[in-house]
Amino acid sequence: MTASVEMRGITMSFGANEVLKGIDLVLAPGEVTAMLGANGAGKSTLIKVLSGVNSDYGGDILIGGEPVRIDHPTTARHHGIQAVHQKIADGVVPGLTVAENLLFEGIVNNQVARASSLRGLMPRAREMAAVLELDWPDDLLRKDIYELPIAEQQLLLLCRALVVTPQLLILDEPTSALSEAEAERLFDVIRSLRDKGVAVFYVSHRLAEIDDIADRLLVLRDGVIRSDQSRPFDWGAALHDMLDSGETEARDRSQELRGADEVLHLDQVRLLPKSRPFDLGIRAGEVTGVFGLLGSGGNELAHGMFGSQPFVGGSMTLNAAPFHPKSPADAIEREVYMVPEDRAAGTLIKDWSVAMISTFPFLADVSRLAVLNHPAEAKVGRSVIDEFGVVAQSEDDPVLSLSGGNQQKVVVGRWLRKRPTVMILNEPFQGVDVGARHDLAEKAREVAAAGSAVVVMSTDLEEIMEVSDRVIVLADGNLRFDAYLSDTSRDEILTRLSEVE
């Protein structure tokens, strides 16, 4: 016997930042409800509200018509809400055996005696594995959890969520670690749960999966539900709701740059283990925008070109000479630069000044016989501040005291001032205010006009439309579309992205 889970006017704020702005939603038993949403739309926050992690939400949650307050993960579980989160590492407990991990909840709740021997746990562990018809032999159950392949770990977490048949099962990007066959097995499980009357809430970026399994499709954007469809899904409309706000004016197309010389050529490159190889030429004198949903290969493309993470397969040439960077240092020697997607982890150094961050990749410029020349360094710091309009008191300001947009101007500026051959900007507008985003896009275009090849990766269509001359669409690591913006339209881009293979 299962009941519906109903949300009425759910809101959630972090400080002044309102992430959920009133969600009304009924998750019906025996139905798979899928949800799409761009970065920052509020998906994770909504899942955390339902699973009791974010306890200070506003609004009401009703289960089977009864109002309940979900103030703790235990409460959520008590009411039959089980969530399998995206990060497998958050769920499994290292150092314990597979069997102990299966029974982990029982162990922490003292339902299973802490002192019980592994042998004592085995019958129960076998039962649990049987929930998903996992044919795990005893010697596998005795192994350390880390000897289990990542996909099996994912299934283990699912077993744990399914020990008691839940009312509502929440799955957050459950297939990101699974092979196709394993994903198929997961879908079989989901279907059988649905047939048993479980409500399934399925969050994913993979359109093909949603098309395969969902009965209903929601699009979340800026903390509200934008659209709610039942089968058959109109993918174009869904992606439009998800990605295209139509807010920004299209750039003046007469200023579109058309580069001529192909600087960097990718030859039969494969981005993801399951994706198909493709060729791609990056031209100097224009901005190439690489657009795709999260996990579609843009990140892999950026790191592959920069040598910070090898491609799954394929090779490159740079100015017609072979280019096989084994590290970022190799790429930088050939004037191929990258601004990574995660500013804090990938670029910033605590206690360092704006000047120090500005000069760091090219310290030879500000030193003589390896001895640092501080006036020269300060000059570079000031030039980055002036040229890129960084709001800072002086070049000695700690970089962490700046706002996100100004930090980003510094880390982009330190490369752009060197007139790169290829400049890769991986998600350069994340956590950046609109004004700074506009300035950064302008600078990227100026550098392209001066002869650099600029490549911008983004999961946000508006950002791509603002900065690019040419757009490339990636989906599941495959090259879907390649056109100059003046020869295409938002609708065509979204249609190409929405083609479900």
Partner 1 sequence: MATQKTADQAHDTAAPGATTPQRPRRDMRELVVKYGFIAVTVIFFIYFLATIDAFRMSSTMFSMLKFTSVVAIAGLGVTTTMVVGGLDLSVGSTVGLSVTVAAMTMVIYAQQGSVAIVAVLIAGAVIGAINALLIVALKIPDLLATLATMFLVQGLKLVPVDGQSVSSGLILRDGTVAPGKFTSGFLEINRGSIGPVPYPVIIWAVLGVATWFLLSRTKWGRIMYAIGSNPEAARLAGARVGRYKAFAYILSGVFASVAGLILASRIGQGDISAGNSTLLDAVAVALVGTSVLGVNKPNAFGTTIGAILIGILLTGTTMMNFQYYWQDVVKGLVLFVALVFSFTLSARKRRFTAAVPL
Give whichever of 142 and 379 is closer to partner 1, judged by the CB atom: 379
Give whichever of 389 and 431 is closer to partner 1, judged by the CB atom: 431
Identify residues 329-348 at the interface with partner 1 (CB under 8 A): 329, 331-332, 338, 340, 342-348
Give whichever of 154 and 359 is closer to partner 1, judged by the CB atom: 359
Judge contact between 241 and 491, C-beta under 8 A. no
Q: Is 363 in the site for partner 1 (CB under 8 A)?
A: yes
Question: 3-state SS string over 261-282?
Answer: CEEEEEEEEECCCCCCCEEEEE
In one-letter notation, the amino acid at residue 250 is A
Give whichever of 285 and 325 is closer to partner 1, judged by the CB atom: 325
Q: Which helix (H) or strand (E) holds 454?
A: strand 453-458
Identify residues 295-334 at the interface with partner 1 (CB under 8 A): 306, 308, 327-329, 331-332
Give whichever of 23 and 129 is closer to partner 1, judged by the CB atom: 23
Residue 85's beta-bridge partner residues? none
Instruction: Give the binding-site size for partner 1 (rule: CB under 8 A).
Output: 52
Q: CB 290 → partner 1: shortest distance, Å? A: 18
Give whichever of 217 and 424 is closer to partner 1, judged by the CB atom: 424
Which tokens hold the place of 300? 């892999």
Q: Position of tokens 């579609």?
A: 296
Which tokens hold the place of 413? 């500026």
Q: Is 361 in the site for partner 1 (CB under 8 A)?
A: yes
Q: Is 371 in the site for partner 1 (CB under 8 A)?
A: yes
Q: CB 284 → partner 1: shortest distance, Å? A: 21
Write the burial class of residue 97 (CB in 10 Å: 0-12 exposed, 13-18 middle, 19+ buried): buried
Residue 288's beta-bridge partner residues? 455, 470
Q: CB 433 → partner 1: shortest distance, Å? A: 6
Q: Is 250 in the site for partner 1 (CB under 8 A)?
A: no
Q: CB 366 → partner 1: shortest distance, Å? A: 8
Write the burial class of residue 222 (CB in 10 Å: 0-12 exposed, 13-18 middle, 19+ buried): middle
Q: How distant, in Å, are the alpha carbons of 160, 213, 239 from that of 494? A: 38, 22, 6
Identify residues 392-451 at the interface with partner 1 (CB under 8 A): 400-405, 430-431, 433
> Out of 23, 41, 213, 473, which residue is the one contacting partner 1 (CB under 8 A)?
41
Q: Is 218 in the site for partner 1 (CB under 8 A)?
A: no
Q: Position of tokens 């649990």?
A: 128
Measured between alpha carbons, how far is 46 from 392 in angstroms, rounded to an integer?
A: 37
- The length of the chain, given as a count of residues: 501
Judge contact between 404 and 432, C-beta under 8 A. yes
> Out of 254, 350, 375, 501, which residue is the one contacting partner 1 (CB under 8 A)?
350
Give whichever of 35 and 81 is closer to partner 1, judged by the CB atom: 35
Contacting positions for partner 1 (CB under 8 A): 14-17, 19, 37, 39-45, 306, 308, 327-329, 331-332, 338, 340, 342-352, 356, 360-361, 363-364, 366-367, 370-372, 400-405, 430-431, 433
